[in-house]
Structure 1
Amino acid sequence: MDGRRTTVRDMRRSNRSVLLTSIYRDGPLSRFELGHQTSLSAASVSNLVGELLDEGVVEEAGSVESDGGRPRVLLRVAPAFGYVVGAEVGETRVRVELFDLAMNQLATKVYPIETPKPDPALVVKYVLAGLSEVLAQAGIAEDRVLGLGVAVAGVVEGPADAVVHAQTLGWDAVPLGALLAAKTDIPIQVDNGANTLGQAEMWFGAGRGATDAVVALVGSGVGAALVTGGTSYRGTRSSAGEWGHTTIMYGGRRCRCGSDGCLEAYVGAEGVLDRHRLAGGSEVSFGADEEAAFIALLDSVDSSEAAAKVVEDTIGYLGAGFANLVNLFNPERIVLGGWSGLLLGERYLPELRAATARHALRQPYAQVSIELCELGRDAVAMGAATLPILRLLRDGGTTSRAPRNLTARAR
């Protein structure tokens, strides 16, 4: 008898999840459209939508004319049902952002990092300080926050109670999830930064509509989010997507991970600037503004043979890396993001596509489009904030942190 009750309860939660996900990803939608999209009966849609409305998870968002009948009421996830926070632990900074459920950015706090290998305790300090700061900026109480998502470099085993293996940061099995959870009651989730960027772009940006895609993050480091059949592919223990540490040159440049010839050593911003320095360009220390140095390098292409050669080679290496993705995964779309990836792509996207074509097999290359991220250079933190939203959708809108019955009280 208990098993039967559990099965019914789980099925109801699953149906709520299907409805809520459709509303969030494709809304505003009418009840009629929800029935068509989810294949749930009209009665089930009506009952479950009624629950979600009463609980304040969903709200009415206008209406549209129907074919000969009454106007159809549109539904959306209520932006103020709760709030989410995303943090990006980058190579040179920790960025913390607060969003409502419509992903409107409400507050931001950035902490510079002066070392390429920050102590985990410093990262925890900055993430939690940023959490307090953005809530204070927006006047949001902590109990209204559904969760804090944190994006980091490296392999993440989690995301709840996450352990981070990040050789480039000097982190070996750092229990980052537990370190953060010990100092806040807000639910914590941790994931790789390329994965969070990928989720944001697949939900809201250049990946929308694709079922087989790669979202490439190129900044100081390099990574990729792999999506196959509409689902993120993570491998046996969540380490899939370490594209930056595939070998592009046997016996090549030493990478920050300790191996030789990694793609990251050739197309990551730190590696590009170092190659420029070795070619006779200006030397840039890590403490300097890496983004400004990268922009200066791109700006000097017309006046400096060394800069022109480094940029030309970088496009070639990146095109070869893209071709490897094309040949291995046969994606319908490759989306280039990350701050230095976008700086390159905004100026040299046609050249990058041509470089990819030179190295890829003709047939799979003919089936892929190469596009730029649409959410900007800071989309990693936004993607991290989608981690608690994904959990909310999977749980069918059930959460212990946001106030219940908001709609009823508003009436």
Structure 2
Amino acid sequence: MAERSSRTVRDLRVGNRASVLQRLYFGGPMSRQALGPATGLSSGSVSNVVAELTADGLLEEAGSVESDGGRPRTLLRVAPSSGRLIGVDVGETRVRVEAFDLGLKELARTERPLTESGYDVATIVRHIREGVAQVCAEARIEPGAPHGSLIGVGVGVPGIVDREGAGDQGDVAGTVVHGQTIGWDAVPLERMLREEVELPADTAYFVDNGARALGQAEMWFGGGRGASDAAIVLIGSGVGACIVTGGVIHGGARGGPAEWGHLTVSVRGRRCRCGARGCLEAYAGAEALLARWQEEGGLLPPGADEETGVSALLGAAYPQDGTAPDPVAAAVLDETAEYLGAGISDLVNLFGPERVLVGGWAGLQLGPHLLPAVREYTDAYALRHPATRATVELGQLGPDAVTVGAATLPLADFFSRGGRRATPPRTESSLPAVPGWQVVLEGRGVR
């Protein structure tokens, strides 16, 4: 006996809307006639979906193209003005907040530096609250507007992300962050943002690991386009990675490969920020890199932060004034390249990516100098067959990639829902006072 499909008519409609939106968004303007073969939908389904999406303000005309012997065909595209997105990057040196339209064009941005307070949760939440308020004002985002309103807020954070956490009283806490290296122990970040950020109560928040946000941005718009299997590496104060296999992006909730930085590369080695010994992050992250240089006699500029320190180290190893390179700085960087190559070789052996992309603020600073050596060490440590398939390159989206990736989190959910906004999880206080069945019966006049 054949199994009955569990898909409802509503599910099919949502799926059809999602197919059309995603095809137009990633494939560029397209006519109704071309959408059928591109999505596998019948001409009638395409007409119905296009009519719905146009009525919702999500599609607009984008010129026309000549047809074979007939009238010109109107091209359609996803309307950039039909929605707004906010992306937040909780980085090692600053909190960056940006507002975008639906086409990921930047509308406003602000940065809040992290100083002596470090990763104090209250400080981070305050920076996000103030940053969101500023970009909303500058971009004229009206969260309650019927069209062009805020679709959601995406937040990229360090650490392991758990979407099933619960509060102390058993109420839904939304996303919880376990950031061992930054002193965060089951921080209910989504709930804190809902309580502190001045946005409507039904605003959708999407908190995920920063490496996964970076990876999604590179796969959608950067160096990962067209690849089915990839590894996107984030190098900042620490290191992380996002893995893509068969076109599916991993490395988000519950950590996954995003915690690549805590792979052991030296038994009983250097102490890592996480408390263990010998982690890759203890050798390849910017914080450890500068510590190792100072231990060997390197001098940082007075009051230098990590970004200035990495610039000083590169300047010593690769001087631009004609002086001789500092051999200590050069040796520290070469050792760092070897550790990165060894760590990347593990990703190559385990996942067989076509492409490895190196990003993050420190990765983008170090990459132009270290990438040739990183490639050599990757080949030396990896198995020959998967190594011949993989290329190692810099990411293409620059230092804002995590913020862009954070904005893609609500955008991806929006598309998967066929252009409908997400409904946030209900807390105990939002539940009805009487059971749902009783409400229904009373509505029918049954007592």
- Compared CA separation, residues 67 and 265, structure 1 to 2 (3 A): farther
Q: Which residue of 1 aligns with 2:331?
A: 309
Q: Which residue of 1 aligns with 2:244?
A: 227
More off after superposition, 233-242 vs 202-211: 233-242
Letter paired with 1:84: L
1:117 CA displacement:
4.2
Provide the alpha-carbon RMSD of the alignment: 2.1
Answer yes or no: is the 8 Å Cα contact 1:62–1:73 preserved in 2.
yes
What TM-score, normalized to structure 2?
A: 0.85
Q: Which residue of 2 aligns with 1:152?
A: 157
More off after superposition, 136-145 vs 40-49: 136-145
Answer yes or no: is the 8 Å Cα contact 1:117–1:168 preserved in 2.
no
More off after superposition, 330-339 vs 72-81: 72-81
1:238 CA displacement:
4.4
CA distance in 1, matches of 2:192, 2:388: 47
Query: Are residue 175 (structure 1) and residue 176 (structure 2) matched?
Result: no
1:375 CA displacement:
0.6
Q: Which residue of 1 aligns with 2:432?
A: none
More off after superposition, 162-171 vs 287-296: 287-296
Q: Which residue of 2 aligns with 1:245?
A: 262
Answer yes or no: is the 8 Å Cα contact 1:92–1:115 preserved in 2.
no
Answer yes or no: is the 8 Å Cα contact 2:86–2:99 preserved in 1.
yes
CA distance in 1, matches of 2:52, 2:226: 29
Answer yes or no: is the 8 Å Cα contact 1:181–1:187 preserved in 2.
no
Question: For 1:273, which of 290, 295, 304 is the aligned residue?
Answer: 290
Answer yes or no: is the 8 Å Cα contact 2:161–2:175 preserved in 1.
yes
* Post-superposition CA distance 1:288-307 (Å, at most 9, x none): 32112101111111421110
* Post-superposition CA distance 1:385-407 (Å, at most 9, x none): 11111111011012389xxxxxx
CA distance in 2, matches of 1:361, 1:15: 43
SS in 1 for 2:264: coil
Q: Larger Rg: 1 or 2?
A: 2
Structure 1 gaps of 5+ residues are 402-411
- What is the number of residues matched between the two proteins? 398
Query: Are residue 376 (structure 1) and residue 398 (structure 2) matched?
Result: yes
1:66 CA displacement:
3.2
Answer yes or no: is the 8 Å Cα contact 2:117–2:123 preserved in 1.
no
More off after superposition, 64-73 vs 205-214: 64-73
Q: Which residue of 1 aligns with 2:305?
A: 289
SS in 2 for 1:314: helix
- Compared CA separation, residues 4 and 314, structure 1 to 2 (3 A): closer
* Post-superposition CA distance 1:213-238 (Å, at most 9, x none): 11110111111111111111248834
Q: Which residue of 1 aligns with 2:175?
A: 162
CA distance in 2, matches of 1:396, 1:238: 28
More off after superposition, 356-365 vs 153-162: 153-162
* Post-superposition CA distance 1:280-324 (Å, at most 9, x none): 101478x73211210111111142111000111111111111111
Answer yes or no: is the 8 Å Cα contact 1:315–1:351 preserved in 2.
yes
Q: Which residue of 2 aligns with 1:323?
A: 345
Q: Which residue of 2 aligns with 1:345?
A: 367
More off after superposition, 167-176 vs 351-360: 351-360
SS in 2 for 1:35: helix
How do residues 8-407 of structure 1 correspond to structure 2 at under 5 angstroms?
8-115=9-116, 117-143=118-144, 144-158=149-163, 161-183=174-196, 184-185=199-200, 186-234=203-251, 237-283=254-300, 288-302=304-318, 303-399=325-421
SS in 2 for 1:242: helix
CA distance in 2, matches of 1:161, 1:66: 51
- Compared CA separation, residues 376 and 234, structure 1 to 2 (3 A): closer
1:43 CA displacement:
1.4
- Compared CA separation, residues 269 and 251, structure 1 to 2 (3 A): same
1:31 CA displacement:
2.2
By relative contact order (CA 8 Å, sep 6+), the higher-ranking structure is 1
* Post-superposition CA distance 1:217-266 (Å, at most 9, x none): 01111111111111112488343321111011111111101111111111
What TM-score, normalized to structure 1?
A: 0.92
More off after superposition, 33-42 vs 85-94: 33-42
CA distance in 1, matches of 2:160, 2:348: 23
CA distance in 2, matches of 1:220, 1:400: 33
* Post-superposition CA distance 1:61-103 (Å, at most 9, x none): 1222334433332221111111000011111111100000111
- Compared CA separation, residues 67 and 336, structure 1 to 2 (3 A): farther
CA distance in 2, matches of 1:118, 1:191: 17
Structure 2 gaps of 5+ residues are 165-172, 319-324, 424-447
Could you tell me the percent identity over the aligned residues?
51
Letter paired with 1:102: G
Letter paired with 1:123: I
